[in-house]
A and B are shown apart, each in its own frame.
Chain A
C-alpha cells in the first residue's frame, strides 16, 4: 500500500488491528499506464523532491521512472484542476480516464499478527552549519544531491557539473562527519555510512573523470566492514587525497564561485588553505521526524539518539519491547544497505518464528475485578488506557474486564477507591510484603523506589551495564507500570519509617501503556497535598521520569534522593510513623488481609 500511513494500532501480539489511511492519489493506480500524456499538458511546475530539488516536475507526476507502483500521483495542493473552471487539462487527455479530482483519503482496517517497523531515517540538513555556507554558496552541495548529479537517470544524465556554470569541476572536496560526531550542532553519534559513501563517491568520480582532483577532509575514516578497507585503499590509489582535519570555514570567490577551505591539518599541524570548485558535504543521518507517531502507536521506546530501542542489544537486537513488533534498517540506528538487508532478514525470521507457532501465550499479568467489593462507580472505566473495562453504573452491576484487551498496567487497581481490582502477579499483598521486608530493619537508612518495568527499571539496568556508580541505600520495587503504585503503598512505606520514597516511571512519550503514567502524576500530586496536610514534608515523596536509555539520569536521581534522605531527621520519621499509624492496621500478623490506606480508600483488595 503505497502512499499510505498507519493511523491507529489496536490489539496485542498475534492480534493487531491496524487502521491505514490510504491517501488520495487522484490517479487510479490500476488503470494508469504511466504514459505521460498528462505531464505534457500540466501547466504547473514544482521542485522535484526525488531529484533533491535539482530539477522540476509537474503537479501530476511519477516520483521517479522506476517507481513501484508504476503509476502517477497528483499533488492536489499544487493542482489547479480541483477548481474545475481553472484547468482540468490532464483529465481531458487521459485516455484511461483514471484521474479523479474528487478522490478521497480512505481508511482501511487490516488484521495482522506481527508488525515490522522499517521506517528508515532522514538525512541531515546542514544549513545550520554556517561555516560551510550550504545554501549560501551554490557549489556547496550535500552527498544526497551529489547522488542525483552522478546518476545517469538524474537531472544531468549523470554529468558531474557545478551548479553555477554547468562546467565540470577540476577539484572536488568532500567534508566528512557533517552533522555527525558533534556535541554542538547536529548529532553526537557516528552516522556509520558517510565514510564509505564518500569512498564510493571518490571511486565513482575517478571512474568517470580520472583527472578531477579529490580531497577528503575527515576526522577518522571508519572503513571497518568486510571489503571496506580494500575500497578505501583503491580510492587512494586512484588519487583521492585524504586530509585529516575538518575545515573551520569556507569562503566563496565571488567571481569564479570557487571555494576556499581553511583547515587545520591535524596530522601535519598548521593551518592550510585548499581550493576547490565544488564541495560535497558528507551529511549524516538522524531519526525521522514522524518516528514519534509510530512510537506512540506501538508503545515503543527510543534510545537517547532518537532511534528505536531494541529489547536487548545482544539477546534481542531486532525485537521491540512490545511483543510481536520488530525493527529493521535505519529506524533502529544508522546502517548501510548490507546491514539493513541482514537485519530485515533477521526481523522476518523472528516474525516468522512467532507466527508459525500459530498461537502465543500472553503474560498473565492482567486485572481481575472482585465483584463483591465493586460498587459499580465506573471510575476504572475511564482509567483504563485500553478501554478494557466496562461497567454499567446505572444497573449497578460490578465492572467486568476483557482480559484479552487488558495489558496489565495496573492503573485501575491503584485508582479503584474500593480495592476491588487486583492485579495478577502484582497483588497488593505481594507489593506490600516487599515494602515491609525492606523496611523491617533500619528503615531510616534506606530509600524506597518504585520503578516501572519498561523504563526506569531498565534505566537502572543500563546504569548497571555502564557501571554508573551511585549510593547503595536505594532499593527498588518493580511494577509493570508506575500507574500500579497505589497511594496506600506510598503511605505504608512512610508509616514503616521510610525517610524518602521515590516513584519513577516512563516519560510521557515512552509510556508502555499509552497514558497510564498520567495517573501516576495525578496520584503523586494528590499525595503531596495529602502529606502536607498531615504535616509531612511533601518533598519526601519524589517523582522522576527515567527512560530505558537514561542510565545516567538513573544514577543522578539515585544520588539526589540519597542526599535528600540524609536531610530527613529521625524525629520527622517518628512523627510520620505516628501520624500514619492507621495505615498499618490491622497489624502485620494477619497478612491475608489488605490494609486500608486512607479513610477515603476504604477496604482494600483481599489478595486472591
Chain B
C-alpha cells in the first residue's frame, strides 16, 4: 500500500514525490520553499 505519490506545492508551484499511504494523514513540506500547502496530484492515468 505504502508508496510514493506526486505532490505539488501551492505556494511555489513545484512538483515532487513524497511517501504516500492512502487514508493516512501526514504532515508534508515542500522541499523547495518549505511550505505546508502541499497537495497531491490526483493521477489521471499518465
Contacts and interface: CB of A to CB of B under 8 A. Distances in A.
Interface stretch (A345-353, A394-402, A521-529): A521-529
B39 A525 contact: yes
A521 B11 contact: no
A543 B37 contact: yes
B10 A518 contact: no
Contacts of A543: 10, 36-38
A515 to B, nearest CB: 8
Contacts of B38: 543
30 contacts: A507-B27, A508-B26, A508-B27, A509-B27, A518-B25, A521-B25, A521-B27, A525-B39, A525-B40, A528-B10, A528-B39, A538-B39, A539-B10, A539-B37, A541-B10, A541-B37, A542-B10, A542-B11, A542-B37, A543-B10, A543-B36, A543-B37, A543-B38, A544-B36, A544-B37, A545-B36, A553-B34, A560-B11, A560-B33, A560-B35
A564 B35 CA distance: 13
- Per DSSP, chain B at the interface is loop
Contacts of A553: 34
Interface in B1-46: 10-11, 13, 25-27, 33-40
A553 B34 CA distance: 10
A564 B26 contact: no
Interface of A: 507-509, 518, 521-522, 525, 528, 538-539, 541-545, 553, 556-557, 560, 564
B17 to A, nearest CB: 18
Contacts of A564: 11
B23 to A, nearest CB: 10
A543 B35 CA distance: 8
Question: Can you list the 4 inter-chain pairs with the closest CB atoms, starting with the nearest?
Answer: A539-B10, A518-B25, A508-B27, A543-B37
A10 B10 CA distance: 38
Contact of B35 (A518, A528, A544): A544
A525 B33 CA distance: 19
A541 B33 CA distance: 16
Contacts of A557: 35
A508 B36 CA distance: 12
A545 B26 CA distance: 12
B37 A545 contact: no
A interface secondary structure, majority: helix
Nearest to B9: A539
B12 to A, nearest CB: 9
Nearest to A561: B11
A523 B37 CA distance: 13
A544 B38 CA distance: 9
B35 A522 contact: no
A539 B25 contact: no
B18 to A, nearest CB: 14
Q: Which of B33, B37, B38, B39 has the most CB of A within 10 A?
A: B37
Given A508-B26, A545-B36, 5 more contacts: A525-B39, A528-B39, A539-B11, A544-B37, A560-B33
Contacts of B11: 539, 542, 560, 564
A518 B10 CA distance: 19
- Which of B27, B34, B36 has its CB near the most chain A CB atoms (within 10 A)? B36
A512 to B, nearest CB: 15
B40 to A, nearest CB: 8
Contacts of B37: 539, 541-544
A522 B10 CA distance: 16
Nearest to A509: B27
Contacts of A560: 11, 33, 35
A284 to B, nearest CB: 27
A367 to B, nearest CB: 22
A70 to B, nearest CB: 46
Nearest to B25: A518
A381 B13 CA distance: 37
B24 to A, nearest CB: 9
Contacts of B40: 525
Contacts of A539: 10-11, 13, 37
Contacts of B27: 507-509, 521, 545
B29 to A, nearest CB: 8
Nearest to A564: B11
A509 B39 CA distance: 20
A454 to B, nearest CB: 16
A544 B28 CA distance: 10
A539 B27 CA distance: 18
Nearest to A539: B10
A278 B40 CA distance: 56
Contact of A538 (B10, B26, B34): B10
A522 B13 CA distance: 20
A509 to B, nearest CB: 8
A553 B26 CA distance: 20
A564 B33 CA distance: 13
A538 B40 CA distance: 12
A552 B23 CA distance: 32
A525 B27 CA distance: 12
A553 B27 CA distance: 16
Q: Which of A522, A541, A556, A560 has the most CB of B within 10 A?
A: A560
Contacts of A521: 25, 27
Nearest to B11: A560
